[in-house]
Amino acid sequence: MTTVSAPFDVAIVGGGMVGASLALALRDTGLSILVIEAFAPESSAQPSFDERTTALGNGSRRVFEALGLWQRLAPEASQIRRIHVSDAGRFGFARLDAADFDQAALGYVVPNRVIGRELWAALRQAERVQFRMPARVTRIELGEACARLQLVDGQGESAVTARLVVAADGAQSLVRQAAGIEASREDYGQTAIVASLRTDRADDGTAYERFTEAGPMALLPIVTPAAGHWRTLVWAAKPADAEALLALDDAAFLSRWQQAFGWRAGKALQLGHRVAYPLSLVRAGAGVARRAVLLGNASQALHPVAGQGFNLGLRDAAELAELLAGAAAAQRDVGAADLLATFAAHRDVDRDGMVRFTDGLVRVFSDARPGVARLRDLGLLLFDMLPPAKRALSRVSSGFGGRSPRLTRGLPL
């Protein structure tokens, strides 16, 4: 086994959505960065840059603008100009319109593959960023002055050292386990089916969130190279129902969807490939350990109902990049315990708020008791009539309170 003697400043385990974004944010800080990723971004097995689309809030757009990536994503980003929330079979509904908040859009939907393609195209140009890919980290030891990572790739086993290890390796994080951080996992008893879907009605920039007896579903506008009016469907159903839906042929699936969703987006005509994701809330007991920090899904994996998991993970990355850039400028140890404690303190409010918001939304809207359903109708109607409540929600994607990192305000590090 070969060991690279000089330690990297930062080793990022996982070059998916959050890890690759962090590496890009750190590229001009003077720090030496190593990204270790198990799959090439263009591989069909890549679990982060897969068939999904991601709804990016305005805070995330500003981060990508500040990183010089937005102009490359924009041609394939579909604007969300309106959000329509409804409860199937009930009278309550609520609307949010970007124009009411003097915004061009409430958010943007971008295919994950496009985000991966552009992040990695930019990273491959970055001088201070090295990568091992495809390579899998198999063991980590977190020492007093340094961390040692063992990895395996096509050449066999090797080891590297780093002053700081970043866990961007997703909900099953190996780094989290190696750091001895416990994680709680609550199964939602739901599986999300994701597919693209074509209807006979043109997209007018509306994202639909519909809570149905069969589970919440979102229908998002997307830009596709294929002709016709395509959207992304994310339908969360009980696992047995999801299995039954996946077993249907395309025509039968579309007819079930039409029944559950209604006709607001027109008549369903065609379905793309369906992919299933079991849903649970995973939460790490701590965000940092000796020489290690957890980001994105390694720290918290959320239900996709409000489309906030990546937006939150990107704010983790923006905050860490800012602290590391400051440490680099002051020639301080980037893995120092006080720096990591500051990171944890700065991220606490936003993380807690977003976990509670998303989890509460899933629970309130999957409660079928009649009293709860009536309260929900009332809540949606009141929300629809109350501009301050709408303003508060339209700002959710910029963070749930606490400190706003510079990048999320569109400022360079």
Ligand X SMILES: Cc1cc2nc3c(=O)[nH]c(=O)nc-3n(C[C@H](O)[C@H](O)[C@H](O)COP(=O)(O)OP(=O)(O)OC[C@H]3O[C@@H](n4cnc5c(N)ncnc54)[C@H](O)[C@@H]3O)c2cc1C
Residues of this chain that bind ligand X (CB under 6 A): 13-19, 36-39, 47-48, 52, 54-55, 136-137, 168-170, 174, 192, 194, 234, 277, 296-297, 304, 307-311, 313
For residues 90 and 185, which CB has a smaller minimum distance to ligand X in the complex? 185
For residues 294 and 334, which CB has a smaller minimum distance to ligand X in the complex? 294
Smallest distance from ligand X to CB 134, Å: 8
For residues 235 and 383, which CB has a smaller minimum distance to ligand X in the complex? 235
Residue nearest to ligand X (CB): 296
Radius of gyration of the chain (CA): 21
The C-alpha atoms of residue 298 and residue 318 are separated, in whole angstroms, by 16
For residues 54 and 79, which CB has a smaller minimum distance to ligand X in the complex? 54
For residues 60 and 199, which CB has a smaller minimum distance to ligand X in the complex? 60
Which residue type does 390 have? K
Smallest distance from ligand X to CB 176, Å: 10
Q: What DSSP line would sit under 96-150, residue for residue? A: EEGGGGT-S-SEEEEEHHHHHHHHHHHHTT-TTEEEE-SEEEEEEEE-SS-EEEE
The C-alpha atoms of residue 163 and residue 142 are separated, in whole angstroms, by 9
Geometric angle at alpha carbon 71, from 65 and 76, rounded to 5° = 115
Smallest distance from ligand X to CB 312, Å: 7
Interhelix angle 370-385/337-365, rounded to 10 degrees, is: 110
For residues 93 and 277, which CB has a smaller minimum distance to ligand X in the complex? 277
For residues 47 and 89, which CB has a smaller minimum distance to ligand X in the complex? 47
The C-alpha atoms of residue 411 and residue 197 are separated, in whole angstroms, by 37
For residues 84 and 332, which CB has a smaller minimum distance to ligand X in the complex? 84
The C-alpha atoms of residue 373 and residue 369 are separated, in whole angstroms, by 6
Smallest distance from ligand X to CB 391, Å: 21
Q: Convert 366-403 to b/e letters by CB count within 10 Å (16 or more is b).
A: beeeeeebeebeeebeebeeeeeebeebbebbbbbebb
User: What letter would DSSP give residue 184?
Assistant: E
Tokens representing 362 are 């899933």
The C-alpha atoms of residue 60 and residue 399 are separated, in whole angstroms, by 10
Q: Could you give the count of Cα atoms lying within 13 Å of 305 in the half-sphere of its Cβ? A: 28
Q: Convert 288-301 to b/e letters by CB count within 10 Å (16 or more is b).
A: bbebbbbbbbbbbb
For residues 306 and 373, which CB has a smaller minimum distance to ligand X in the complex? 306
Rounded alpha-carbon distances, angstroms, from residue 294 to 1, 177, 183, 324: 27, 11, 12, 14
